[in-house]
Amino acid sequence: NAPRLLAFAGSLRQGSFNRRLIHVLAEGARSAGAEVTLIELRDYALPIYDGDIEAAGVPEQVRQLQQLMGGHDGLLISTPEYNGSMPALLKNTLDWISRPTADGGSGVALFQDKVAGIVSASPGPLGGLRSLLVLRDALAKLGLIVVPQQVAVGQAADKLPDYGVLADDRQKHQVHGVGAAVVRHLTRAGVTS
């Protein structure tokens, strides 16, 4: 059974560098043998987490994301850096998924022992490196194993001209390596859904 990975970028905008980069990471994981489901968070349009919304009835899009997480063995994420941290979009998405599921199960359990690979992109020189530290910590708190390999792509306006195109061969190889590391970890652990 091929490992199944859920992939998304933490940006909504057209022309997002991270939406371009997640295709490169997905390609690396596919070449290493994974089945990758690449989704756009724009399609889910989650409200900001609000306990009153939850009490009144959890949005259908949250249920869809919880089901997707439950049906995959790991995550691939490309994150922007906002003021040295991950964007609210990503945190909000993780927070909603972590809430109790429709059958009364634990949302956090959906992440438990799954494996994640993370990358970032920014027009700046550091490539959003600081956001990777924050995201790594948040994913670990949810019980995911985040592979040590990671890549922060700086000068993204030059390096990421289109979806799935990373114009720096060394970095492209490294990003593919993040995907391959996730697959290797899952395969060694014998954990596939």
Provide the CB-side half-sphere exposure for 165 (13 A, CA).
9
93 binds ligand FNR (CB under 6 A): no
Q: Does residue 81 interact with ligand FNR by CB under 6 A?
A: yes
Token pair of 30 as six digits: 């596919």
Give yes or no for residue 122 binding ligand FNR (CB under 6 A).
yes
Q: Kindly state the tokens that stand for 105.
A: 């199960």
Shorter beta-carbon distance to ligand FNR: residue 105 or 124 = 124
Nearest to 143 by CA among 98, 80, 86: 98
Which residue, among 131, 116, 129, has the nearest Cα to 171 in the 3D structure?
129
Cα distance between residue 105 and residue 24, in whole Å: 34
Is residue 123 part of the contact set for ligand FNR (CB under 6 A)?
yes
Residue with Cβ nearer ligand FNR (79 or 101): 79
Residue 71 interacts with ligand FNR (CB under 6 A): yes or no: no
Contacts of 93 (CB under 8 A, 6+ apart): 8, 10, 41, 44, 46, 65
- Tell whether residue 16 is a contact of ligand FNR (CB under 6 A): yes
Q: What is residue 163's three-state secondary structure?
A: coil
- Residue 109 DSSP label: G
Quick one: which of 74, 128, 177, 179 contacts ligand FNR (CB under 6 A)?
Answer: 128
Asked if residue 135 binds ligand FNR (CB under 6 A), the reply is no
Select 143 or 164, whichever has its Cβ closest to ligand FNR.
164
Joined together, the tokens standing for residue 65 give 């994301």
Among 14, 83, 170, 190, which residue sits at the site for ligand FNR (rule: CB under 6 A)?
Answer: 83
Per-residue binding letters, 17-36, with ligand FNR (x by CB under 6 A): xx------------------
Query: Which stretches of the chain bind ligand FNR, using CB under 6 A?
Result: 11, 13, 16-18, 80-84, 121-124, 126, 128
